[in-house]
């Protein structure tokens, strides 16, 4: 696991190469094995391979999501907030497990934050996506994860660049 974390980078540029069905199924399995509070599994996942639909996903917010249009695979991480008060955390856990599973399969990925972001029209991005994806009104979209074969290989972040000043022992400020 630590080796995966050492290699992990956000990848926003992908080869024009579809992801094999077997790998997509492994990614789905990873999502469904994600832990959730009290086993409530409030999350839902929408697997998007259609280029026109990915372009609509990429338009969910004015900045930071355009890469989704060129990712061969986009996975929308959403939830029914009525199922669990910690749905945001559960969705976030599933999303990072997805990203690590993708890396293990030789794929790159990047997170596009949707929750608390606005569409270009000023309405919440989640509302726009609920309409595009035919989600029930009560659902919220946490993020979209774009996945594909990286256009270029990037080295992981150097250990010396890690923010060790964020680590405290026993009490804050130590």
Domain locations in the chain as residue ranges: 14-152
Q: Is the pLDDT of residue 155 over 90?
A: no
Q: Per-residue pLDDT averaged across 20-33, rounded?
A: 98
Query: Does residue 116 contact residue 60 with C-beta atoms inside 8 Å?
Result: no
Q: Which two tokens stand for residue 53?
A: 């639909």
State pLDDT tens for residues 46-88. 999 999 999 999 999 999 999 999 999 999 999 999 999 999 9
CATH dotted code for 14-152 = 3.40.109.10
State pLDDT tens for residues 1-13. 888 887 888 999 9
Rounded-to-integer distance, Cα 168 and Cα 174, Å: 5
Rounded-to-integer distance, Cα 29 and Cα 9, Å: 22
Of 65, 69, 63, the residue nearest 50 (C-alpha) = 69
Query: Does residue 56 contact residue 110 with C-beta atoms inside 8 Å?
Result: no
Where does residue 123 rank: exposed (0-12), middle (13-18), buried (19+ CB within 10 A)? exposed
Collapsing DSSP states into helix, strand and coil, what is residue 28? helix
* 108-113 sheet: strands from edge to edge: 43-48, 73-79, 140-148, 108-113
φ, ψ of residue 92 in degrees (nearest 5): -65, -40
Rounded-to-integer distance, Cα 149 and Cα 139, Å: 30
């Amino acid at each position: 696991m630590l080796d995966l974390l050492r290699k992990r980078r956000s990848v926003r540029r992908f080869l024009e190469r579809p992801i094999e069905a077997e790998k997509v199924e492994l990614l789905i399995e990873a999502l469904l094995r994600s832990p959730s509070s009290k086993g409530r599994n409030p999350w839902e996942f929408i697997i998007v391979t259609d280029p026109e639909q990915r372009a609509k996903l990429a338009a969910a917010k004015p900045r930071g999501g355009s890469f989704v249009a060129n990712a061969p695979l986009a996975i929308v991480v959403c939830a029914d907030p009525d199922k669990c008060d910690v749905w945001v955390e559960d969705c976030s856990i599933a999303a990072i497990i997805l990203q690590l599973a993708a890396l293990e399969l030789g794929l790159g990925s990047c997170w596009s934050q949707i929750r608390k972001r606005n569409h270009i029209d000023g309405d919440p991005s989640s509302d726009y996506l609920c309409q595009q994806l035919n989600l029930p009104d009560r659902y919220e979209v946490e993020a979209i994860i774009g996945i594909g074969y990286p256009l270029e290989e990037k080295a992981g972040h150097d250990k010396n660049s890690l923010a060790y000043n964020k680590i405290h022992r026993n009490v804050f400020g130590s």
